Amino acid sequence: MSSHMNINKEGQNNRNTSQHNVVHGKTSANYNLNNKHRIKLTHSPQSETSAEEPEAKKLKLDPEENNKSRKPDGKRVRGQNKSRPHMKPTTYDDKQLCLSVIQENKKCFYGEKCKFFHDVAEYMANKPADVGERCYIYDTFGKCQYSLSCRFAKAHTSPDLKNVVNEELVKAREGRTVVKNSLDKDLQNRLRKRSVSFKKSAEYLKTISKDNKEKTEQQGNGESRKLFTVLIIIQYLFFSAVNNFYSYFSQSSLASSFKMKLLTVFCMVVTMASVVIGFLLDKLQVSEEKQNLVKTVGPLTDADIVRLRPCEKKQVHLSCPSESEPRPFCGNLPFRRVCKRFGADITCGEMAMCTNLLQGQQSEWALLKRHETEDLFGVQVEGCFPDTMTRCAELINNNTEVDFVDINSGCPIDLVYKKGGGCGLMTRSRKFEQIVRGMNYVLDVPLTVKIRTGVQEKCSIAHKLIPEMKKWGVSMITLHGRSREQRYTKLADWDYINTCSKLASPIPLFGNGDILSYEDAMKARETGVSGIMIARGALIKPWIFTEIKERRDWDISSGERLDILRDFTNYGLEHWGSDTRGLEKTRNFLLEWLSFLCRYIPVGLLERVPQRINERPPYYMGRDYLESLMASQHVGDWVKISEMLLGPVPKNFNFLPKHKANAYK
């Protein structure tokens, strides 16, 4: 008898989706899903609820286990853990080896006051046990820069506790820059002292101030004309009153001496009033004449000849079928390398705050780093003011190697939106225009923009903005088929994306939303978009790029998926370091990624292919122990997978997942 199990839509409150019960390869109901027992996917409309399982197949959960992910009233815990604990870099490695010892033959700047180890033997006695026998950094580059502090130090440590170097590998890689766009120390100091020159930005910002001045003058012209009319009326009434007063005064029976004094004062007042009114009228006439003068363009200068025209800028070649857009936590350099290996054509860095880049923050500049394997790479920036965004664009243009710069005006995060950035720019069209024109003015590479359908769910405004963006000089537009209010719930509106792609022509428009298989990608390409951008789909299954290029569903095994995770950890150790600090940082990013990877359902277990991105499976057991472990939504099981690759966690290890539904106490 076959076992039919329905997959519930994301966001529905079904008792079977409250907590995944795979622990140590066991489930509370021992279903062995082989070729006869497959998971049945029911893709019902969003408003309908999924049909319940047959009575005989309902799982009996332990009450304590079931209540861990539920509120006191029985409802499932939802939303994000916004106040997650921030672990300091020194949390897991409070006693480190001094950098002077690691780099060898260098004197310690702090001398006896140094808090780190200088005695190698003492450090090795207190150091945590090594994780493995082979060091990926040493095997790849011939030298591990972390020396004895490396958690794989046995692979490159001599009996006399010296760091071993493979000279052949070092010479073979000599002169190669593996990672580009690192923050130079000199540039960082100049940014902190605010001594970096932004000449082009200053030129553009002057034009903005001139435009604002002209606008105020134009507004003032209307007011001046009104004032001119009022002054003429006042002048007419004033002289009429003077004539009437003088005729009355001459016929009055006052004393002659008093009459003379009063007449003198009266003449002085009349004279002063006449002078003031005449002066105001002359000034208004002169200003109006100046406004009517024809403005000349001026002589042709070298700057006009040297400056690149929009058509001369380097273009992004969009002959590729897909684009990978990394997301926070998983959109890091090691993850992009994994996507690149599976066939991603364009990679883009995580969203960086323009103000943090201008302040020279090392953590923000790390988001701009580019690996040598990324042949078409862009950076993504966020900001809400023309001055900071223009300066940031000039800074990136002069100090990094990128193929395009992207403005993220689709970020729905409250912190960004409330300041006027992200989706907030879509409702501030004047500022948006100034930002786009300013960045285009200072950049030598194409400028792209990422937007959503709008801010409110039932009030789309992207179709109004896109024709304006064409005038502003945008090279490419990426449209996410949801509004800010929707975030990532409900299905993306590809019909609306299709409408917008026609409005954007001839500018390329990339569509984004709900791509999890090559069938989804093919349907998306039928809408007329120039390309597709894959975000969550790449986090759930990074091999989606291979599926799209080869047009097939890949029934990837658990062993192959573990190899992908192993590659990610190796890339992470190379990027963040193979010492304790770098290893635990790699583990943290791996656990964040596993919160997406656990949503994948193996193709061999599905009764209906393909899986949809908004569907969630019921409790099931995989075809082997590792597949069951990878399907678990328990944080404890994610930690077990990380221990397979990065060794046991420290005693004081703490990790709280991003989503409350996956949390446990």
Q: Is 150 a catalytic residue?
A: no
151-157: which pairs have CB atoms within 8 A and are 24 or more residues apart? 151/578, 151/579, 151/580, 151/583, 151/647, 152/578, 154/130
How many Å apart are CA 316 and CA 600, to the nearest integer?
32
How many Å apart are CA 61 and CA 65, to the nearest integer?
7
SS3 3: coil
DSSP per-residue letters across 118-183: --HHHHHHHSPPPS-S--HHHHHHS--TTGGGSTTGGGGB-TTS-B---HHHHHHTTT--SEE-PP
Q: Report the chain's terminal Cα–Cα distance, integer Å.
A: 38
Half-sphere exposure of 37 (CA within 13 A, CB side): 12
The distance from CA 157 to its chain's CA centroid, rounded to whole angstroms, is 41
CA-nearest of 144, 127, 135, 132 to 92 is 127
How many Å apart are CA 354 and CA 365, to the nearest integer?
10
- In sequence order, the 6+-apart residues with CB closer than 8 A to the CB of 609 are 517, 553, 603
Query: Which residue in the list 135, 144, 339, 411 is annotated as catalytic?
Result: 411
How many Å apart are CA 285 and CA 290, to the nearest integer?
9
SS3 620: coil
Residue carrying structure tokens 């990394």: 326
Half-sphere exposure of 430 (CA within 13 A, CB side): 3
Which conformational region is residue 544 in: left (phi greater than 0), alpha (psi within -120 to 50 degrees), or beta? Answer: alpha
State which H helix or E strand residue 9 sits in. Answer: strand 8-9
Sequence-ordered alpha helix ranges (H) in 443-511: 462-472, 494-504
How many Å apart are CA 102 and CA 99, to the nearest integer?
5
The distance from CA 53 to its chain's CA centroid, rounded to whole angstroms, is 40
Active site residues: 411
